[in-house]
Amino acid sequence: MKVIIIGAGWAGCAAAITAKKAGAEVEIFEKTDMILGLGNVGGIMRNNGRYTASEEIIALGAGDLINITDENTRHKNIDFPGHKHASLYDVNKIEPAVLKHIKNMNIKVNLISRVIDIKKSKDHIEGIYLSDGTYIEGDVFIETTGSTGPMGNCLRYGNGCSMCVLRCPSFGPRVSISSRAGVDDLQGERDDGGLGAFSGSCKLAKESLSSEISEKLDKDGVVILKIPPEDINLDKLKLKVCQQYALREFAENVILLDTGHAR
């Protein structure tokens, strides 16, 4: 049986590993030049309920990715607003570590390979088409591309393209293969019912920070800096879909995390 995984983020990598362990031939198609997608900027694991989930996954024999993040963790048991006992993994090391593990399992990884359409026979998917016209057949198709794109969403619902790690201008926007198969995407809603998520995080080079802040980040994993009262804008919290970041503390402070960079 040949299993085709569309998208190589955390979910795609987990699906590929699971399918391979079950005895399938597995091939991954990822539109960018890196696997893990948003995992390359996340850096947070085992926080809140994720700790229990991580231990359960390991106990069930599916802890490959959890173990890799543990091996590349910079700080453990970190608390900051909305998060308890978090582990902060190094975003500079995690992608090559996961890629090595996947390749060692003889899972074929196709980078810069954007899937744009499918071939169907009634209710059965027979194959996928890449942006260069290549047609690939398979038996099982798993889409794990998320719902963050296409880039037009950032223009329509946000403030434009910020050239995030998905890099749509370079590698093309996301295409919903689920919708091509007749299944509508689920869409996140803001507090006012509008569509679109908002992230208040970005990566900063530690070299751009003061030595005092940089040293504290290296030591403690987190630095919380107060925002002047006149610059606090609580209304921005309404734009957030992820409620653990829609807390008042995220409007009143700049919260820096050590994930290899300063997040």
Query: Whose CA is closest to 222, among 28, 25, 44, 24?
Result: 44
Rounded to two decimals, the pTM is 0.90
**Euclidean distance between CA atoms 167 and 161, whole angstroms:** 9
Contact 97, 72 (CB under 8 A): yes
- Contact residues for 137 (Cβ-Cβ < 8 A; gap 6+): 2, 126, 127
**Euclidean distance between CA atoms 89 and 75, whole angstroms:** 7
Burial of residue 57, with CB atoms counted within 10 A of its CB: 0-12 exposed, 13-18 middle, 19 or more buried: middle
Query: Which helix or strand (DSSP H or E) is residue 100 part of?
Result: helix 94-104
What are the structural domains, with CATH classification, of the chain?
2-43+91-180 (3.50.50.60), 189-263 (no CATH)
- Residue found by looking up tokens 């194959």 in the block: 127
Residue pLDDT tens, the chain, 263 long: 999 999 999 999 999 999 999 999 999 999 999 999 989 988 999 999 999 999 999 999 999 999 999 999 999 999 999 999 999 999 999 999 999 999 999 999 999 999 999 999 988 999 999 999 999 999 999 999 876 655 566 776 666 777 788 888 889 888 889 889 988 887 767 667 777 666 667 888 999 999 999 999 999 999 999 999 999 999 888 777 677 888 999 999 999 999 999 99
Following CA atoms 120, 124, 125, 126 in sequence, which dihedral angle do they give, to the nearest 10 degrees?
-80
Contact 174, 145 (CB under 8 A): yes
